[in-house]
Structure 1
Amino acid sequence: MTLAAAHIDTGDTAWLLAATALVLLMTPGLALFYGGMVRTKSVLNMLMMSFVSIALVTVVWLACGYSLAFGDDVADGLIGGLHQAGMAGLGPSDVHGTVPTLLFATFQLTFAIITAALISGAVADRAKFGAWLVFVPVWALLVYVPVAHWVWGPGGWIGQHLHALDFAGGLPVEITSGASGLALCLVLGPRLGFKKDAMRPHNLPMVMLGAGLLWFGWFGFNAGSAMGATGLAAAAFLNTLAAGCTGLLGWLFVEHKRDGHPTTLGAASGAVAGLVAITPSCGTVSLLGALVVGLAAGVVCSYAVGWKFRLNYDDSLDVVGVHLVGGIIGTLLIGLFAEKAMTGGAEGLLYGGGLAPIGRQLLAVAAVAVYAFAVTYGLGKLLDKVMGLRASEEQEHTGLDLTVHAETAYDHGVLGHGAPVGASPFVPTAQKVNTQA
């Protein structure tokens, strides 16, 4: 046994192996969550956008993404080097903290995967699948990788120079996906019938199942970020559960007061909003802070999802209203509720830390949101000019499942106006079969 291998803690490694699997499961969970929220004619397309992100981001991450994000800094806190491109020089005996470096790299890969997949919800029903295949790897390299280095990488300017706090990904995951989703839906424009046609979720049980899988996986996401089987992991685990619960209750309270009907979609969305907000703060706030963070996100995000109708941007599945707004809430509230017992030193305003922590968190949020939005908007415009980013009107009207993938989610037109009993699902596009619910 080498000296490095002797430093591997088997308990920490076992927990991080499980956490990595949990986080990877979140992307199929997201696929179901999003798939249930769209109409019947685009279910499979939504599932595919998530699943293909697993493959695309993995290839890019192994090729150079990990090295650029977590390699030694080469540009004043902005990006890492390429000395570990292709995972060069990394073997089973290399250690990051108390776990194998290869495991740490894989754990971080699962974060990058779901971040890219999250963006698909903002452009549901109308994005070209071919353009998505190009967008995902390029976006991962241009947006996710640099921000991950800023926050978590060696010498990153947000984490190690600004000293802003982000335990599990409010900045690299939630805010980048939300700001990028906003940029991309502005480039694409609204769906046909936006603000005119009913675009209700077609399968709420699927939405609830997806939300449940997301919640389950989120324990790996947040508690796994402790990088070991420790008391901090246990605290992050409990905070994650608590914030998801108060987020759910907060959203339902708003629905009941505003609309008179607490809904299953509201319960799922509220839980996700609370989980989004607690992501950056789960390892920095106490249980009381977690309860407040989740409740604030559930209430505020329930209103934020309606902004798209007032401001006329078509964020199809509320990536902006939940992930951007929820990520901002959770990251900023660290400046109020951070406790020394959790952080090991830093404290928020309510615990004697003064205004400086809020200022640091605000600067980090603004920098990441502006960077992600600007780069994504530019990338979207470029792809739209070069290859077209939006599906044709015919494809959008008929449905992307049939016109792009030559499949339908429900045989014989269940829940929609599909092919008659006994007909082949592979109907030529020219027939314009309408599978809209």
Structure 2
Amino acid sequence: MPPGITTLAADTPTLSAANTGFMLICSALVMLMTPALAFFYGGMVRVKSTLNMLMMSFISLGIVTILWVLYGFSLAFGTDAGSVIGWSQDFVGLSGIGVTELWDGYTIPVYVFAVFQLMFAVLTPALISGALADRVKFTSWALFITLWVTVVYFPVAHWVWGAGGWLYELGVIDFAGGTAVHINAGAAALGVILVIGKRVGFKKDPMRPHSLPLVMLGAGLLWFGWFGFNAGSWLGNDDGVGAVMFVNTQVATGAAMLAWLAYEKIRHGAFTTLGAASGAVAGLVAITPAGGAVSPLGAIAVGAIAGVLCAMAVGLKYKLGYDDSLDVVGVHLVGGIIGSLLVGFFATGGVQSDAKGLFYGGGLDQLGKQAVGVFAVLAYSLVVSAILAFAVDKVLGMRVDEDDEISGIDQVEHAETAYDFSGAGGGAASRTAAPATGPAVPTNKKVDA
């Protein structure tokens, strides 16, 4: 719900079945992004951490859903209090909302808006999990999610999208979550990994993705779901802005993937599937705040810039020594910053609002506003997330034991493994196994024809 939105219906809006149905579909698409992220991250880790990585995303669907109903929606989108937080008693437990009551100024019910925003709240802490792969206790992670969405996500969502929120009132453009989702999650990831430290064997042992097909599946599903994430954030499509955002989402993502692959070929000599998937996600992240403010040509520029800079950024962890397991900082934090700041250059003033960027005669005004939004969210999330991780570490301990990390976090935390190799072919097992069509035949006996 970006600044500059206009009322979809004149004076007194009435319920639109088309917009309501569209938003329910978009909500389902955004919900799909969390299990898609689980696949994307799950394929990038080693076999012994696959299930834990899947669960770190999946558990957010349970925890954040309940918190959102109890008080999260009220904190994020209730009546403004001091430009930093919201609160409306009717939103607590979603108990005071009429079935046909419309969201303020729009043609969709409050319930539809609430469930759409819920899916954003679910996805954001799941993004953080990729930075912490292989080494975090599941119980501690669940507690961290509970605290983080309460103290960080809900307030920041109000700053950016809530009526009266200070970044909203300042005029910061964030169409669908460059600051509230991606910078927020990326900065939180950095804060937590600075507290919990590196994986055992970081920069020494090979830690390659165990299933690139799973990574590609996750990336494809993320791309699919992102259309609901981005186009749905206009809360309807009566004026065509959502359609522009849909087009720009596709355009920027394609440009970012190509730019990442080109950089990778020049730098490392190969076009990799991991690079294609990561480049696509970088483009999706970067266009999220900017897509309602730029033209399709601007979207190409946003995607291409993000593809190259994010590809460069993922290598910083080896130079600077922080262990961002699955490049959450390099893709989501850096991509979110790029997309948010580029609004200040490429905003045309002719789509979601009349705000213009530097290249369209708007001067530095919008760029300055974007910078305030970027660094305010980055600093708040980084510091508070580090404090929360430190507190959880003192109470429960954030990390599994070193021996458990080496042997595999899946068995320790979930008593399961992702793959059962006991019946796989090869070795002694295959030589002594019974044939598929009959009983085993001893190899030291003659067999009659």
Q: What residue number does 1:435 align with?
A: none
Aligned mates of 1:164, 1:184 — CA distance in 2 = 27
Q: How many angstroms does 1:282 deviate by?
A: 1.0
Any unmatched runs of 5+ in structure 2? 1-10, 431-449
The aligned counterpart of 1:338 is 347
Equivalent of 1:212 in 215, 220, 223: 220
CA contact (8 A) 2:346 2:358 kept: yes
Aligned to 1:408: 417
Matched, 1:298 2:307: yes
* Within-5 A mapping of 1:46-57: 46-57=53-64
Out of 138, 149, 152, which is 2:158 matched to? 149
**Deviation at residue 5 of structure 1 after TM alignment:** 11
Match for residue 381 of structure 1? 390
- One-letter amino acid of the counterpart of residue 278, structure 2: S
Structure 1 pair 406–14 and aligned structure 2 pair: CA distance change class (3 A): same
Residue in 1 that maps onto 2:323: 314
Counterparts of 1:344 and 1:164, CA distance in 2: 11
State which of 77, 85, 90 in structure 1 corresponds to 2:83.
77
Q: Are positions 1:188 and 2:196 aligned together? A: yes
Q: Which amino acid aligns with 1:29?
A: A
1:352 has 2:361 as partner: yes
Task: Determine the structure 2 residue equivalent to 1:265.
Answer: 274
How far residue 341 of structure 1 moved from its aligned partner, in angstroms, is 1.2
Q: How far apart in 2 are the matches of 1:223 and 1:58?
A: 22
- 1:94: Cα distance to partner? 1.0
Distance 1:6 1:353 in 2: 33
Q: What residue is the counterpart of 2:209 in the other structure?
A: 201
Residue 39 (structure 1) aligned with residue 46 (structure 2): yes
1:106 to 108, 115, 127: 115
Counterpart amino acid of residue 175 in structure 2: F
* C-alpha deviation, 1:344, in angstroms: 2.8
- SS of 1:409's equivalent? coil
State the 1:88 CA deviation. Answer: 2.7
In 2 relative to 1, CA 128–5 (structure 1 residues): closer, same or farther, beyond 3 Å? Answer: farther
Q: Does 1:68 align with 2:75?
A: yes
Matched residue type, 1:361: Q
Contact 1:64 1:82 in 2 (8 A): no
Deviation at 1:413, TM superposition (A): 6.0
Deviates more, 1:348-357 or 1:326-335: 348-357
Matched position secondary structure for 1:385: helix
Structure 1: distance between partners of 2:317 and 2:422 = 31
Whole-angstrom distance in 2 between the partners of 1:115 and 1:11 = 28
**Identical-pair percentage:** 56
Deviation at 1:91, TM superposition (A): 2.4
Please give the secondary structure, in 2, of the residue aligned with 1:343: coil
Q: Report the aligned-residue RMSD.
A: 1.5
Find the aligned partners of 2:325 and 2:348 in 1 and give their Cα distance. 37
Measured in 1, the distance between the counterparts of 2:219 and 2:120 equals 17
Please give the per-residue CA displacement for 1:189-239, whole angstroms capped at 9, x wherever unaligned: 000000000000000000000000000000000000011134111100000
Q: How many residues align?
A: 412
Q: How does 1:155-170 map to 2 (within 5 A)?
A: 155-160=164-169, 162-170=170-178
Q: Is the 8 A contact 1:5 1:93 kept in 2?
A: no
Distance across 1 between alignment mates of 2:246 and 2:217 = 21
5+ residue gaps, structure 1, are 422-437
SS in 2 for 1:321: helix
Pair 1:235-2:273 in alignment: no
Q: CA separation in 2, counterparts of 1:153 and 1:253?
A: 40
For 2:419, give the aligned amino acid.
Y
2:232 pairs with 214, 224, 244, which one? 224
The letter for the 1-side match of 2:272 is T
Distance 1:44 1:344 in 2: 44
Q: CA deviation at 1:396?
A: 0.4
Post-superposition offset of 1:63: 0.5
The offset of 1:82, in angstroms, is 4.0
Partner of residue 115, structure 1: 124
Contact 1:208 1:264 in 2 (8 A): yes
Q: Give the match for residue 33 of structure 2.
A: 26
Output the CA distance in 2 between the equivalents of 1:151 and 1:6. 24
| CA distance in 2: counterparts of 1:15 and 1:232, whole angstroms | 14
Moved over 2 A (4+): none
| Aligned-partner Cα distance in 1 for 2:353–2:373 | 20
Q: Distance in 2 between matches of 1:175 and 1:108?
A: 17
**TM-score, normalization: structure 1?**
0.92
